Structure 1
């Protein structure tokens, strides 16, 4: 925008300067030509007195002296056909002037000034002064150069002033863009300076600050609501723990208590996660996915499911928290276990491109299941939406298609890890 404003001002000033300087340059050229012609006319008229009163010898000496002192050739054409001065044939202008009177004739290499002396005994004499082109344009080149330098200087000053004005406008806008990027990155404490720039930019900055404050308030309120909702789950979990402890079969009791403990840890993690302000969450995707696969393999063994896994050999950092990535994996594997028959095989793969793939050998599912809150199997329909939001939070995406195993294949592409 800064360079566009400078270019716009340059174009406008160039048009104005051309409209002013070009006519002025032409006027200067005309003034220089008129000055040279006027000097030649004065010279010829002063010589006309000698033509009318002096003898032939005096006239010859005067013409020779005049030609020696000036660059304008002077020739006198007498009525008897003789010529005084540089030898020159009678031009059409000389012949016409002897009949009509004084005037000037434009030529390619200069201008011919013709002055008629009448009242002589033999007839009419014509004085011819030729003004060369160099004299007609004497000083014009220098004047044009001065005008060009003046125009260039004015243009440079105009562009410099326009650039400063553009900076005054663009700098606050860039500040707004920086604050907007910070807000997108989760830094809701950033604010734009509302006292810098034109009134319109200050108004936008004030509105952006109000929007950021409102978003922060709404987010805090939502986090507290989620934390409260998660806290309410502790009461039924306590009752479930008491029921598990009252079981006679110690193995079943231990197994259920382990599940209750895992659920309690998950609820605690949800409460802590909703109340924690995160600038740039990261985790090792390899470790998180491997840990969730180990969790689900216990149920897979009970259902006689084969779960093939393919994970990177090294840590794979991703721009998402471990809790969010674990919830994503649990949602996808939970769909497999909930919507396919026991014994149906599944596969989980994570490659170094940060692409997580979960597929099964079941019948597949209705494409409408990818819509939030819509399920064709009687569930809440939030599983795929959780995975999608996790992917989109990192700048990635989620796709659903048919698996080579015969069932559904869900591909979650996680965005690259960027520095704050």
Structure 2
């Protein structure tokens, strides 16, 4: 914006200066020409005043003095002299005028009436005499125009800075808000319009914070309400006659309660904390939990985890939630008995099965294609953005989570 505004001012100033200085330059040239002709006419008249009153030597001396004073060629044509130019012949008829000389300059001709006839005084002006001082004046006008354009550009740049600086500050604040810093606020400044935009951005940031707080409390309230049916489910599990069945259902209720608690905590947190964890521990724990259901459905379930810790930049609850979403998809969208596996490397986590597979649209929130909400893989994508879907060697689904990027 600064460069465009400077260019606009430079162009506008140039047009104004051209419209003003070109006529002024022509006027300077016309004035210099008129002054030279006026001076030459005065020289001719001074010589003509002594014609007929002095002798020839004295007249020659007067001509010499006139030439020395004005720097022009002065000639006197007495009556009866040999034929000269047409301009001199015309002046002998008693007419004084100015004519164009053969060299491109001017001839100032003054007719002087005397007892013996009409004498003519001729003063010759060269082209340099007609433009003396014009070049220097034009150069001064050019320098004046350049200085004025420079001042205009400098003032335009200062004006642009006064506009762009607060706008740049607004852009920085908006980027901070987009990055999750809801405490970022703009300091209104600059023109009234920019100040108004800054106040509007601050109001928007405050409103976003209020809406997010309301949403977190709403989600937390809904999640909290789930505790009542969970308590009832726990009591029902404890009343079962089969102790093993009661323990199994109670374990499921405990896991569900932990998930609900995690939802409440996440809803109340201002931002998601990155954190880190040992992925090997999380994978073993979640694989052990889901292996019970896999055994009931007679599914072959293989787990490959390095014997050493695998530190990843994802918190343990988030990674566990992503794994649970992937395992749940396997159980929900493949037939009983379909095998699946999980494999952890220092860089990737791979979950694959031998089911029908799915398309890339499954990574979009709300797109499932299998009759579900489509939120499971969205949880995975938000936990590990570098997630891709592939076909397993047996044609099923293969989900690859890149936990560590180079």
CA contact (8 A) 2:340 2:351 kept: no
1:317 alignment partner in structure 2:
313
Note closer, same or farther for the CA distance 1:243–1:25 as it changes in structure 2 (3 Å cut). Answer: same
1:330 alignment partner in structure 2:
324
Aligned residues: 400
CA contact (8 A) 1:312 1:351 kept: no
Q: Counterparts of 1:107 and 1:328 in 2: how far apart (Å)?
A: 102
The normalised TM-score by structure 2 is 0.80
1:209 alignment partner in structure 2:
202
Greater Cα offset, 148-157 or 213-222: 148-157
Q: Counterparts of 1:326 and 1:92 in 2: how far apart (Å)?
A: 115
Structure 1, unaligned runs of 5 or more: 84-89
Note closer, same or farther for the CA distance 1:233–1:23 as it changes in structure 2 (3 Å cut). Answer: same
Q: Counterparts of 1:75 and 1:314 in 2: how far apart (Å)?
A: 112
> Which of residues 101, 104, 113 is equivalent to 2:107?
113
The normalised TM-score by structure 1 is 0.78
1:154 alignment partner in structure 2:
148
> Which of residues 277, 291, 295 is equivalent to 2:282?
291
1:46 alignment partner in structure 2:
46
Greater Cα offset, 267-276 or 45-54: 45-54
> Which of residues 167, 177, 188 is equivalent to 2:182?
188
Q: Counterparts of 1:126 and 1:329 in 2: how far apart (Å)?
A: 118
> Which of residues 263, 267, 272 is equivalent to 2:265?
272
Which SS does the other structure have where 2:301 is aligned?
Answer: coil
> Which of residues 221, 228, 240 is equivalent to 1:235?
228
Note closer, same or farther for the CA distance 1:174–1:308 as it changes in structure 2 (3 Å cut). Answer: same
CA contact (8 A) 1:356 1:413 kept: yes
1:4 alignment partner in structure 2:
4
Note closer, same or farther for the CA distance 1:161–1:356 as it changes in structure 2 (3 Å cut). Answer: farther
Aligned positions of 1:363-374 closer than 5 A: 363-365=356-358, 372-374=365-367
Q: Counterparts of 1:71 and 1:177 in 2: how far apart (Å)?
A: 71
Note closer, same or farther for the CA distance 1:99–1:248 as it changes in structure 2 (3 Å cut). Answer: farther
Which SS does the other structure have where 1:381 is aligned?
Answer: coil
Displacement after TM superposition at 1:42 (Å): 1.0
Q: Counterparts of 1:81 and 1:6 in 2: how far apart (Å)?
A: 69
Which SS does the other structure have where 1:266 is aligned?
Answer: helix
Structure 1 residue 282 corresponds to structure 2 residue 271: no
Note closer, same or farther for the CA distance 1:398–1:22 as it changes in structure 2 (3 Å cut). Answer: farther
Note closer, same or farther for the CA distance 1:390–1:77 as it changes in structure 2 (3 Å cut). Answer: farther
2:138 alignment partner in structure 1:
144
Note closer, same or farther for the CA distance 1:317–1:371 as it changes in structure 2 (3 Å cut). Answer: closer
Note closer, same or farther for the CA distance 1:297–1:31 as it changes in structure 2 (3 Å cut). Answer: farther
CA contact (8 A) 1:306 1:343 kept: no
Aligned positions of 1:11-410 closer than 5 A: 11-81=11-81, 93-94=87-88, 97-98=91-92, 101-106=95-100, 111-120=105-114, 124-194=118-188, 196-244=189-237, 256-278=249-271, 281-284=273-276, 287-288=278-279, 291-292=282-283, 294-296=285-287, 299-300=290-291, 302=295, 303-306=299-302, 315-317=311-313, 323-341=317-335, 342-346=337-341, 358-365=351-358, 372-390=365-383, 400=389, 402-410=391-399
**RMSD in angstroms over aligned alpha carbons?**
3.9
Note closer, same or farther for the CA distance 1:296–1:125 as it changes in structure 2 (3 Å cut). Answer: farther
